[in-house]
Chains A and B, each alone.
Chain A
Amino acid sequence: MKNPDDQNDDPAIGDMARRRFLQGVALATGAGALAVNGGAWGGSTLSDAFADFFQQHYQRMTEAEIRATIERIERKAKRRYGVDIRVDNTPAQEGVIFGYAINVSKCRGYRDCVHACARENNLSSDTQYIRVIEMDRDSTDLRHGDHYYDHEQVPVEGKYYLPMQCMQCDNPPCVKACPVEATWTEPDGIVVVDYDWCIGCRYCMTACPYQARHFNWGHPDLTSAGLNPDTHYLGNRPRPRGVVEKCHFCVQRTRKGRQPACQEACPTGARIFGNLLDPDSEIRYVLEHKAVFRLKEDLGTEPKFWYFRDE
């Protein structure tokens, strides 16, 4: 549940007033710094640099502010990578809560999903949202799983493969851990991050029992050719350095009705994605007709990510 204070749009109240004041102070300081140190804005214009500095939390911005922010992000990407990206702001669809299911009998550990995800979501080369864990047959002990497996051919006899990514928990511990509320659950059930509000404390990474969150230790090493220009504000737009990111069910695709990149890339059809509220959806059929389980269910995180086997 969201704190009702978050919804307060009245600028005269509480932290908003304080924020306005601090903005004024910082503006004056920043202007002074510019006079001393002329080209310190990374090629940005002064107004963009200021606007970046005073950018609001995504949920507190007005439509116009979001539009201005998006234009600024697009300009920044153009400067940095020389690519015209489109940052999207599609809201969650009404009556949609996303759920995911993986057929562990079908997953063969090819890792096609991992790399499709990395391409789609503009991941730095040291980050992968999906971890395909090679598990011993007849065991669900994640401690004995290995995601660095490197065989000539998969699947290997006596092993099975368990892909893990963000479970989009309904009771997400990472959201509770964030001291600045830079991460929250969207109405369609996706846990998202406002990369510009994140302070990089990495508390959420510690709180997540699935190791689904990843930290940008450096600037993402994206190339102009490899950059996916179709992005979303809460999704795969190029991230700054020093912030936490995670799987967001390809929010830039799924909110427009497309499949997430991992599902589209899966060559065996092990991945099933859909609307949990639609009784005719594939995911609902799986949940109602298969013996599904979730990882670390005893923690009460209520993941919206199920696993099942062929009987």
Chain B
Amino acid sequence: MTWPSRLLALLTVLAVAPCGVARAVEQQGAPPTADWDWSGFTGLDDTPVTKRAGISKAPVAAVVPRVGETAMPDFDAPARRAYAVFSGVPPFEVIPSQRDPGMHPCSSCHQWVLSDPRPRHLKKPHDNFELQHGLHGKGKFWCFTCHDLSGSGGLKTLTGEKLEFGDAYLLCSQCHVDQARDWAYGAHGKRAANWQGRRQVFNCTACHYQHRPGIKARAPQPGPPVRMGLERPAHWVAHDTERPKVHGYESVWQRAHRETQAAGSGQHTGDPQTNPAEQAADEKS
């Protein structure tokens, strides 16, 4: 089957889907198997996913889910015994990740809807992320590097071995060998609840959002208070602002002073939207 005819089939399926599921299946023919024709696959070039021809640069980042939203640990589900692929590791269990129930199993849609393996700007319902995984976010991967739509759907290794979603760590360990070994022995990743007894560790996807594994910066919790009785009097603050910023940024006292000054002169430079670099430039000028 050539790609245009495949697309035609997909369009037909979409067009007739409201008319009746049975009819759609009939028109599509056999469900897709794992034996894809990879000749048309362009996922392994150097062009970033967002810069390839035909891919819109629409701001998909705005709908990227927060890390943790799609892969919260599912504490209610029974922990899975880890595969013994790491020789010599003391036995441990992996806490499965909680999946978006609307999206699983894949076969609930993909038994009728043919999937398009070409890298492109994703449409609904797969438009809630931008794939930034593989060689520093340059998009070396496409969906079917890791996803397998045969059967009810799941994951597959590079050699085509089928995996459950809960065994994502096996998939990750194909490339991230050092991290996987450290994870299995407890130097990477996170153990839940106890230091003694049953060792239950979080799956890779509990911390790393699988489609964009880098951990994002976020605001810190509030800093330590000044000890009781040690609140600095006003002239100390003024004095402190005279001090050169040896650490490259201002202290809480300098910042408090700056904000007080800014509030007095009608300018509030402490706006959270302001770029810290711009703030520093303001301070110098």
A interface list, Cβ under 8 A from B: 103, 108-112, 114-115, 125-126, 128, 131, 134, 136, 144, 146-156, 158, 217-218, 254, 257-259, 263-264, 266-269, 272-275, 280-282, 285-286, 289-290, 310-311
The answer to whether A257 touches B227, judged by C-beta atoms less than 8 angstroms apart, is: no
A153 touches B219 (CB 8 A): yes
Interchain CA distance A151-B248 in the complex, whole Å: 12
Task: Please tell me if B188 contacts chain A, counting CB pairs below 8 Å.
Answer: yes
Report the count of interface residues on B (CB-CB < 8 A).
39
Q: Inside 8 A of A282's CB, which chain B residues have their CB?
A: 185-187, 191
Chain B 195-207, CB-CB to A under 8 Å as 1, else 0, gives 1110000100001
Chain B nearest CB from A98 CB (Å) reads 8
Q: Which of A125, A258, A286 is close to B194, meaning CB atoms less than 8 Å apart?
A: A258
Q: Looking across the interface, which residue of chain B has its beta carbon closest to that of A109?
A: B220
Q: Which residues of A contact B227 (CB under 8 A)?
A: 126, 217
Q: Report yes or no: A114 in contact with B249, Cβ–Cβ below 8 A.
A: no
Residues of B close to A131: CB separation below 8 A: 224
Q: In the complex, what's the smallest C-beta–C-beta distance from B75 to chain A, in angstroms?
A: 13
Measured between C-beta atoms, what is the minimum distance from A230 to chain B in Å?
Answer: 15
Residues from chain B with a CB closer than 8 A to the CB of A147 are: 223-224
Residue of A108, A217, A275 near B195 (CB, 8 A) is A275
> Is B268 an interface residue when CB atoms closer than 8 A count as contact?
no
Structural contact, A111 and B246, CB atoms closer than 8 A: no
The one of A257, A258, A269, A310 that contacts B190, using a Cβ cutoff of 8 Å: A269
B215 touches which of A108, A274, A285, A290 (Cβ 8 Å): A108
What residues of chain A lie closer than 8 Å to B217, measured between beta carbons? 108, 153-155
Given contacts A267-B207, A273-B195, A275-B195, whether A148 and B221 have CB atoms under 8 Å apart is no
Q: Which of B147-185 contact A (CB under 8 A)?
A: 178, 185
Contact with A along B130-156 (1 / 0, CB 8 A): 000000000000000000000000000
A285 touches B207 (CB 8 A): no
Is B22 part of the contact surface with A, judged by Cβ < 8 Å? no
Q: A108-B215, A136-B247, A156-B249 are in contact. Are A149 and B220 (CB under 8 A)?
A: yes
CB distance from B175 to the nearest CB of A (A): 16
Taken together as a complex, chains A and B put the C-alpha atoms of A114 and B222 apart, in Å, by 9
Shortest CB-to-CB span from A154 to chain B, Å, is 5
- Are the CB atoms of A289 and B195 closer together than 8 Å? no
Nearest first, the 7 closest Cβ-Cβ pairs linking A and B are A282-B186, A257-B196, A269-B190, A111-B221, A153-B217, A285-B185, A280-B90
Whether the Cβ atoms of B187 and A286 lie closer than 8 Å is yes
B229 near A217 with CB under 8 A, answer yes
Q: Does B120 contact A (CB under 8 A)?
A: no
In the complex formed, the residue of B with least CB distance to A254 is B195
B27 within 8 A of A: no
Cβ of B281 within 8 Å of any chain A Cβ, yes or no, is no
Output the nearest chain B residue to A153 by Cβ-Cβ distance: B217
| 5 contacts across the A-B interface (CB closer than 8 A) | A108-B215, A108-B217, A259-B194, A269-B207, A290-B187
